[in-house]
Amino acid sequence: MDNSSRSTFTGKLGFILAAAGSAVGLGNLWRFPYLAAQYGGGAFLLVYIILAITFGFVLMVTEIAIGRKTQLSPMQAFGALNKKWGWLGKLATLVPILIFPYYCLIGGWVTKYTGVMISGQLEASADDSFFGAYISSTFDPLIWFGIFILATTLVIIFGVNKGIEKLSRFLMPALLVITVGLSIYVVTRPGAGAGVKYYLLPSLENLSAKTFLAALGQLFYSMSLAMGIMITYGSYLSKQQSIEKSARQIEIFDTAIALLAGLMIVPAVFVFSGGDKEALGTGPSLMFVTLPKVFNSMPGGRWLGVAFFVLVLFAAITSSVSIMEAIVSGLIDSFAMKRNTATFIVLIYGIIIGVVCSFGFGIWSGVSIFGFDILDFLDFISNSILLPLVGMLTCIMVGFAVKPEVIINEIELNEKFTIKKFYIIMVKWVAPIFIFFILLSSVLSTFGIINI
């Protein structure tokens, strides 16, 4: 790749927004709330926030610095830092490959709901069985999935990235405003108190190794960490800008949206299920089952529903584009493929696996892999196994092969790194050891070898 032609983001805001556009997506709005609901509300939040400030921050700074230092995409960046570690770049690229198809399937669900709101079927969609009937049908979900994955592909082909960057400036703040407004509305409903309490107050009996693993996987997923994305963005960051501050701003924005999304959805479940805790365990369907009920109960809910799902759709597209781009550029870099060929291959692959995932809710709903349905299985392998694994290996590589000083020097090109000592201890020891143990205990327990 010709480094001299590598463009840099125009302003400070440009980088933050592009990175935030990749980070803020279905992970925040769809995945975070249902995980928080499943893994004990406040306990999950607490663990998540602690991990975000420590591990998340360390990894974010590391990845941005690797990208800016090497000016390369992840496929080559690891190898450029240390020859023996080149394979880690390939492993990191495996994550987007696994996530891409099902991310687009969920994107299709969001597209469907946008259509439902626009065409005035809000009341029907607020019915308990609406969502289940939709995802288990054979063709309808495929059509919406097709629309979403094609839209993502078009953005990649025409590279309307500039346009997306411009749109982000307007739509990201809009998303924030709507999310704040809706959470205020939900929290002030009668009966929401119990839900708010469940969401915010940590109770220790809900805490287990699985909570840590789920929170850690979610953290990496939500911040697009441990899969090379931030390395790519870092390679576009200009040398004058502060890595530390940028990392902090992306983290704060991403976490704020996730926390608010939870505050909007978890208490709403309490209100509309009459305090039934079981309703919290419905997993991936949580957002689609609960939110239509909230909108349906509001005056003017239909238009809020439209606005909300359009914004989620937008957040999902900016993220799915970054996922697809990671795979496409990986193919180009490793097989010297043409851009269009690579894009086409990824599209076909995405469609095939996406269709399989969709059938996993319908005609193939009997299929179960280690007790997961197909989508959940892909989600588990990528987020609960590969992301923590790549995160751990990146820390070990930086800590012992590359040396933390290399990263610190890159950060200190233009300012003092305020947490140098903390960073070194974290990268070398705390992060790898900690991640190793939760990974081990959770994998063993998932496959029934130990009971935690």
Half-sphere exposure of 182 (CA within 13 A, CB side): 34
Contact call for residue 390 and ligand TRP (CB under 6 A): no
CB–CB of 42/202 below 8 Å?
yes
Q: Which region among 17-25, 133-141, 276-284, 303-311 touches ligand TRP (by CB under 6 A)?
A: 17-25
Q: Which of 319, 343, 441, 442 binds ligand TRP (CB under 6 A)?
A: 319
CB atoms within 10 A of CB 187: 17
Give the footprint of ligand TRP on residues 30-59 (CB under 6 A): none
Closer to ligand TRP at the Cβ: 304 or 317? 317
What is 338-396 written as a DSSP string? -HHHHHHHHHHHHHHHHHHHHHTTTTTTT--BTTB-HHHHHHIIIIIIIHHHHHHHHHH
Nearer to ligand TRP, 387 or 424 (CB): 387
Of the candidates 303, 375, 327, 304, the one whose C-alpha atom is nearest the C-alpha of residue 106 is: 375
* Interface segment toward ligand TRP; rule CB under 6 A; list 94-102, 110-118, 157-165, 265-273: 94-102
Does 317 engage in binding with ligand TRP (CB under 6 A)? no
- Closer CB to ligand TRP, 319 or 358, in the complex: 319
The count of chain residues that interact with ligand TRP, using the rule CB under 6 A, is 18
Task: Name the nearest CA neighbour of 96 among 228, 209, 4.
Answer: 228
Place of tokens 């969401």: 199
By the rule CB under 6 A, 22 interacts with ligand TRP: yes
- Which of 255, 322, 384, 442 is close enough to bind ligand TRP by CB under 6 A? 322
Alpha helices for 226-338 (secondary structure H): 229-235, 243-273, 286-296, 301-335
Token pair 């300012």 is found at 415
Contact flag: residue 95 with ligand TRP (CB under 6 A): yes
Q: Which stretch binds ligand TRP (CB under 6 A): 77-85, 169-177, 318-326, 415-423?
A: 318-326
Name the segment binding ligand TRP (CB under 6 A); options: 26-34, 139-147, 166-174, 236-244: 26-34
* 172 touches ligand TRP by CB under 6 A: no
Among 224, 232, 246, 343, interactor with ligand TRP by CB under 6 A: 224
Applying CB under 6 A, among 59, 99, 347, 424 the residue interacting with ligand TRP is: 99
What is the chain's Cα-based Rg?
21
CA 386, 283, 438, 421 torsion-angle sign: positive
Our CA dihedral for 430, 436, 442, 445, rounded to 10 degrees, sits at -130
229 binds ligand TRP (CB under 6 A): yes
Residue 100 beta carbon to ligand TRP: minimum distance, rounded to whole angstroms = 8
Burial class (CB in 10 A: 0-12, 13-18, 19+), 242: middle
What is the binding site for ligand TRP (CB under 6 A)?
22-23, 25-28, 95-96, 99, 221-222, 224, 227, 229, 319, 322-323, 326
